[in-house]
Amino acid sequence: MKAFIFDLDGVIVDTAKYHYLAWKRLAKEFDFELSELDNERLKGVSRIDSLDIILRLAGKQMDQAKKHELADKKNTWFLEYVNNMTPAEILPGSVNLLEELKTASFTIALASSSKNARTILNKIQLTDYFDVIVDGTMITHSKPHPEIFIKAARLAGVPANECLVFEDAEAGVEAAVHARMRCVGIGNPDRLHKAFIAVSDLSRLNLQKIQSLFQHADTVKS
């Protein structure tokens, strides 16, 4: 592995709860109660695609102008939460792993469908760890389309098969697989069964464990 590509929400920091609160608030405007289970379908998905999912669940139809108006309203509410974020909200193990990778001179990339990814990184003071940042403003297709990971690898100058992705969403894991990259799932292994392995959070990993795991896999494969 020469490049390590991280999703943001649910991997490095938990802004999923803020997305959920904002989407739930928006859904109530058209008399739909968004459940936590429904919200799982929105993880790793773009803003407009997320709204389309909610509208389908609610049995509602709206024109594109109205959709963009609602998506902007949701984002305003989300940013109210984000602007109060601090480094205390970084998830366990994230900083230690980023430090290890940086010290070892690996390329580190962020690939997040969020258009607010840079704002979030600045708030939690992690921007300087990343050599490449690809966010929702730079892509046309959201996960599970592999575009975001392919773009991150291209900007990093590293072949796809030499990239390792860290993802917490099913759509993100599928995107990594479609990009022909290996993927570590962060979360429930049953839900992220398409990942190479799954762990509860980044505190379960360090550089030595990652290298050992994949060297062993390559030895078995050969």
Selected catalytic residue, list 9, 38, 135, 168: 9
Give the C-alpha separation, 215 to 131, whole Å.
25
Annotation says 128 is catalytic: no
> Is there a contact between 169 and 143 (Cβ–Cβ < 8 Å)?
yes
Q: Is 9 one of the catalytic residues? A: yes
List 7, 38, 135, 168, catalytic entry: 7
Taking CA atoms, 129 is separated from 46, 98, 132, 159, in Å, by: 24, 7, 9, 21
DSSP 56-86: HHHT----HHHHHHHHHHHHHHHHHHHTT--
Rounded-to-5 percentages of helix, strand, coil across the chain? 50, 15, 35
Radius of gyration of the chain (CA): 17
Q: Cis before residue 189, ω within 30 degrees of 0?
A: no
Positions marked catalytic? 7, 9
